[in-house]
């Protein structure tokens, strides 16, 4: 594994290796010295062209726990705001000796371009590109599902998962559908027809427009935020109507089987896709998702950078 | 596995199951003797086979001292000094007893003591987990060729070897047989 660009690039063994590695690394968070020497001397650049708190901080903590040097690069306040291209930014980072670039970009495919254009030698990790993919989020969701519903080991064969909300603009949904499928889970996406992407019929999942029908049959439900910042048109008549038909409130949570859990990748809009009562209930595992995110990102950075890299091969 | 046709002529068994059992019992006695009992002892095996050896030594200590000894596992992969010489490795479980290792006597247990680099990594790993009162080292086989100033406190068998030879420890829990062999290398 050289880059992590898409959850769809991972086969079952690779996905399980990342989850198992994360499970071992999770114990580091419980120690008094939360530090491992593994990536000493490696440099990780967080290249964020879009706003993010959770993901950027999570990658930063993960890299620091592995003793890597971390450089945070936000587009705002950098040369990018003066009009510098992705290529020139990449060439600058390469000249400074970045071993890995964690990139978030508003354009789908930017990480792929960065990884394949030959601008940089290091590994590229996709931390969310446009409406395309967010593979580490899918991995941390799978890790959370495995912990709660599968004893923390193996794959997710037979698990029923519903992903509800703005599928059209969600990179989390696409990465989750691909990864959960690889792990053997069965996914149902639930959304109004206007918020489903073109070609969803070809996705390896079932599509439904009716949340109440789906909820009694799932082991986990993943609520997505309606991404109004990416919307240039009206996709539903009113927020109130959206919330009534596709929001998760206490009544709907009561339709879930007793063991089922509620996930949300954050940021949540309380009162819109999820009610405050549900967000604060013990079945909502958002805080665990965030904690697991650090372990998953440590695992990804370790597996990409912890062993022999192309630079090391050249020196031999 | 060894179907007969590919077995090298140099393969020789240096410890069989009986020898191994006696060596483990002797190590258990020596650990109890050195520490004047088994109180405050924690046996930490280095995966994979060190963990099984730690469990066996612990169950050999119980009838000697009457007390159950705490056993754990310490994976040292993330502390290795040769990480960059090979692709990233899968991690093994680390299991530290709930009470932690502070002020305890930790006995590290590995199957083969060779360059000493694994033990160096283990000492670094321990340093991040807590501050034991003392750290001791037990190895089933010491084959020499140290590259660091490290020695074992308890040794099952000292085995002079050539660098080209391979010492392999097989345990029932993992390899379906208890034996130590020397393989390969022109003598």
Domain borders along chain A are 7-133+291-315, 135-286
Domain total in chain B: 1
Instruction: Say what the pLDDT of residue A313 is.
Output: 67
Model confidence over A198-248: pLDDT tens digits? 999 999 999 999 999 999 999 999 999 999 888 887 888 899 999 999 999
| pLDDT tens track for B89-115 | 899 999 999 999 999 999 999 999 999
Half-sphere exposure of A115 (CA within 13 A, CB side): 17
φ, ψ of residue B150 in degrees (nearest 5): -135, 135
What SS3 state is found at B58?
A: helix
Same fold? A7-133+291-315, A135-286: yes
Residue B89 maps to a domain: yes
What pLDDT, on a 0 to 100 scale, did the predictor assign at position A84?
Answer: 83
CB-CB contact of B169 with B49 (8 Å): yes
Which residue in the set B79, B89, B92 is minimally distant from A37, CB to CB?
B79
Mean pLDDT value across chain A: 93
CB < 8 Å to A37, chain B: 78-79, 124
B9, part of any domain = no
In whole angstroms, what is the distance from residue B158 CA to residue B141 CA?
6
Q: What is the pLDDT of residues B124-140, one digit of tens each?
A: 999 999 999 999 999 99
Query: Domain range holding B111?
Result: 17-159
- Check if A33 contacts B (Cβ < 8 Å): yes
B142 within some domain:
yes
Outline where DSSP puts E strands in chain A: 43-48, 69-74, 100-105, 123-129, 160-164, 186-190, 206-208, 220-223, 261-263
Question: pLDDT of A68-110, one tens digit each?
Answer: 999 998 877 777 777 788 999 899 889 988 999 999 999 999 9
Q: Give the chain B residue whose CA is nearest to the CA of A28.
A: B129
The CATH class, in words, for A135-286 is alpha beta
Distance from CA of B160 to the nearest CA of A (A): 31
CATH of the domain at B107: 3.40.50.2020
Hey, are the CB atoms on A27 and B85 less than 8 Å from each other?
no
Please provide residue A43's backbone torsions phi and psi, each rounded to the nearest 5 degrees.
Answer: -115, 130
Give A241-268 pLDDT, tens digit per residue. 999 999 999 999 999 999 999 999 989 9
Provide the shortest C-alpha distance from residue B166 to chain A (in Å).
Answer: 24
The domain made up of A7-133+291-315 has a fold known as Rossmann fold (3.40.50)
Residue B46 domain-assigned? Answer: yes
């Amino acid at each position: 594994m050289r880059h992590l660009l898409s959850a769809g690039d991972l086969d079952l063994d690779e996905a399980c290796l990342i989850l198992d590695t994360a499970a071992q690394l999770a114990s580091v968070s419980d120690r008094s010295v939360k530090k491992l020497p593994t990536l000493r001397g490696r440099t990780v650049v967080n290249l964020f062209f879009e706003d993010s708190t959770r993901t950027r901080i999570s990658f930063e903590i993960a890299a620091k726990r592995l003793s890597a040097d971390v450089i945070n690069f936000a587009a705002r306040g950098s040369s990018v705001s003066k009009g510098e291209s992705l290529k020139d930014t990449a060439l600058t980072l390469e000249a400074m000796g970045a071993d890995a670039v964690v990139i978030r970009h508003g354009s789908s495919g930017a990480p792929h371009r960065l990884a394949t254009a030959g601008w940089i030698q290091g590994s590229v990790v996709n931390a969310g590109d446009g409406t395309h993919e967010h593979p580490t989020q899918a991995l941390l969701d799978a890790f959370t599902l495995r912990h709660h519903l599968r004893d923390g080991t193996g794959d997710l064969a037979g698990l029923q998962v519903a992903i509800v909300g703005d599928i059209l603009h969600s990179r989390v949904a696409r990465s989750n559908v691909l990864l959960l499928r690889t792990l053997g889970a069965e996914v149902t996406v639930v959304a109004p027809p206007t918020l489903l992407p073109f070609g969803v019929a070809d996705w390896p999942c079932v599509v439904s427009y009716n949340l109440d029908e789906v909820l009694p049959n799932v082991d986990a439900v993943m609520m997505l935020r309606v991404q109004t910042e990416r919307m240039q048109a009206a996709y539903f008549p009113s927020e109130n109507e959206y919330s009534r038909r596709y929001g998760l409130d206490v009544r709907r949570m009561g339709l879930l089987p007793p063991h089922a859990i509620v996930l949300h990748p954050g940021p949540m809009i309380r009162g819109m896709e999820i009610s405050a009562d549900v967000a604060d209930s013990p079945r909502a595992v958002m805080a665990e998702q965030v904690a697991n995110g650090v372990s998953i990102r440590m695992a990804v950075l370790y597996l990409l950078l912890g062993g022999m890299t192309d630079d090391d091969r050249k020196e031999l | 596995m060894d179907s007969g046709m590919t077995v090298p002529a140099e393969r020789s068994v240096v410890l069989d199951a009986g020898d191994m059992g006696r060596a483990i019992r002797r190590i258990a006695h020596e650990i109890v003797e050195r520490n004047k009992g088994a109180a405050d002892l924690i046996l930490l095996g280095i995966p994979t086979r060190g963990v099984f050896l730690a469990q066996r030594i612990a169950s050999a200590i119980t009838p000697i001292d009457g007390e159950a000894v705490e056993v754990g596992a310490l994976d040292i992969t993330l502390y290795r000094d040769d990480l960059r010489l090979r692709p990233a490795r899968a991690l093994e479980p680390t299991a530290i007893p709930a009470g932690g290792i502070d002020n305890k006597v930790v006995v590290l247990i590995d199957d083969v003591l060779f360059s000493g680099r694994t033990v160096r990594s283990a000492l670094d790993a321990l340093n991040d987990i807590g501050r034991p009162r003392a750290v001791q080292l037990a190895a089933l086989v010491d084959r020499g060729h140290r590259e660091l100033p490290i020695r074992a406190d308890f040794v099952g068998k000292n085995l002079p070897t050539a660098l080209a030879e391979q010492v392999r420890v097989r345990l029932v829990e993992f390899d379906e047989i208890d034996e130590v062999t020397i393989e390969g290398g022109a003598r």
